[in-house]
Amino acid sequence: MRPADDPSWMSYAETILLVHAAEPFEIDLSVPVTAATRAALAAAGLSAPFGLVTPCNPRGQVTDGETNAARLTSFHQALRDTGAHWVRVDGLSPDRAHVEEGVALVWPMEEVESLARTWEQSAIYWWDGEGFSVRGALTDAAPWRLHEGGG
């Protein structure tokens, strides 16, 4: 799969992440990550590198709500079966009209990418402790660093 095969590929850099922590917060991926955001991630249990995965809208194709809900149910059950701990993180469009429920997993990058491929996802977001990258799962794209460092 090429990035051009995913109609939402170019919007990945404009996504807003809603982290469902004890004190929910947002991360705007169109701007550099701040020290305050890094501290909020750590407080949410996400101080180590982690990946973000959703089972919704496979291959970047918008799917109906019923199908996405069924995929979410199966996805959550599969994660529970592994004993994995996750933090819910939703991806929102800048106008907040589109929301995709997902999870942050503090797993090795290869395992997060493998999970994403299982759920037919074009890519994952990867947090390395300083910033986010888009990494191809089904796509053959090179990793795409969204922003360096931050304040």
What integer best gives the mean pLDDT of the chain? 91
Instruction: Specify if 149 maps to a domain.
Output: no
Instruction: Specify if 113 maps to a domain.
Output: yes
Instruction: Specify if 10 maps to a domain.
Output: yes
Number of domains the chain is built from: 1
Instruction: Specify if 8 maps to a domain.
Output: yes
Instruction: Specify if 135 maps to a domain.
Output: yes
Q: What is the pLDDT at residue 151?
A: 36
Q: How far is CA 57 from CA 111, 121, 130, in A?
A: 20, 8, 28
Q: Is the Cα dihedral 38, 44, 47, 53 positive or negative?
A: negative
**Range of 87's domain?**
3-140
pLDDT digits (tens, 9 = 90+) for 15-34: 999 999 999 999 999 999 99
Mean pLDDT of 107-136: 95
Instruction: Specify if 145 maps to a domain.
Output: no
pLDDT digits (tens, 9 = 90+) for 42-83: 999 999 999 999 999 998 888 999 999 999 999 999 999 998
Instruction: Specify if 150 maps to a domain.
Output: no
Instruction: Specify if 109 maps to a domain.
Output: yes
